[in-house]
């Protein structure tokens, strides 16, 4: 039985923090695992990988930071037509990963620091050594998109729905009263708040489910 996951949050009307509420963030995991569990027969024998792309605004560029630009990074990496060695990012992605999901997490850096925004991908591939084979290619492709991005690519293990579910990260963990955070502006702060209601982005076989398994 799923338990209700409650996260205390503060929200605003204009620029004034007015109240405290509780947000059920378990719906994000439930939405993902509903799709994954319908594909367990197909995904048996596959392998799970986790890719994270992170960026932190700084005192130099915080005034121009945009969450939309981070989302554009994801689009260009997984579905873009930019090529390396005559192979587009879209083709590279589709050749090595059969399915996956992307979520966004945001973690506070402390009172005197900006938060870190992270794109979290949980991916399934047929081979068990993609973390070694693809590391150089991924490094070059990611740096071509944005050299400021920090990334990590890890092998998690052979597919089980439990292991897939435990690899998902969509948390929003910030102090909305942090004066450094507030420098990002009301638009970005609203986007940080609404990250708790995000819709996961499904890739490959999780985007378009095999009708046999539905």
CA 92, CA 143: separation in Å to the nearest integer? 15
Q: Are 141 and 84 in contact (CB under 8 A)?
A: yes
Single pTM value for the model: 0.86
Beta bridge partners of 8: 22
CA 97, CA 47: separation in Å to the nearest integer? 10
Q: Tell me the helices (H) and strands (E) count for the chain, helix number first.
A: 9, 10
* 45 three-state secondary structure: coil
Q: Of 181, 182, 123, which Cα lies nearest the Cα of 155?
A: 123
Per-residue pLDDT of the chain (214 residues; tens, 9 = 90+): 455 454 544 444 344 443 445 566 789 999 999 999 999 999 999 999 999 999 999 989 998 898 998 889 999 999 888 888 889 999 999 999 999 999 999 998 777 899 999 999 999 999 999 999 999 999 999 999 999 999 999 999 999 999 999 999 999 999 988 899 999 999 999 999 999 999 999 999 998 765 444 4
pLDDT of 83 reads 86
pLDDT of 103 reads 97
Q: Of 132, 106, 108, 130, which Cα lies nearest the Cα of 120?
A: 106
pLDDT of 10 reads 45
Beta bridge partners of 53: 119, 151
For the chain, which residues make up each domain, given as ranges? 6-208
Q: Of 95, 85, 94, 86, which Cα lies nearest the Cα of 136?
A: 85
């Amino acid at each position: 039985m799923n338990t209700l996951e409650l996260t205390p949050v503060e929200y605003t009307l204009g620029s004034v923090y007015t109240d405290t509420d509780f947000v059920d963030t378990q719906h994000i995991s439930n939405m993902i695992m509903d799709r994954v569990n319908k594909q367990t027969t197909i995904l048996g024998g596959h392998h799970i990988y986790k890719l994270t792309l992170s960026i932190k605004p700084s005192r130099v560029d915080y005034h121009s930071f945009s969450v939309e630009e981070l989302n554009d990074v994801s689009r260009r990496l997984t579905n873009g037509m930019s090529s390396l060695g005559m192979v587009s990012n879209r083709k590279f992605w589709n050749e090595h990963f059969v399915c996956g999901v992307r979520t966004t997490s945001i973690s506070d850096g402390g009172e005197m620091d900006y938060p870190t925004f992270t794109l979290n991908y949980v991916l399934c591939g047929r081979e068990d050594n993609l973390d070694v084979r693809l590391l150089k290619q991924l490094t070059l492709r990611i740096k071509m998109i944005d050299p400021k991005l920090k990334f990590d690519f890890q092998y998690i293990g052979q597919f089980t729905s439990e292991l897939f579910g435990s690899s998902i990260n969509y948390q929003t963990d910030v102090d909305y009263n942090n004066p450094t955070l507030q420098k990002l502006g009301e638009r970005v702060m609203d986007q940080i708040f609404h990250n708790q209601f995000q819709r996961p982005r499904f890739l490959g076989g999780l985007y378009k489910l095999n009708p046999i398994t539905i």
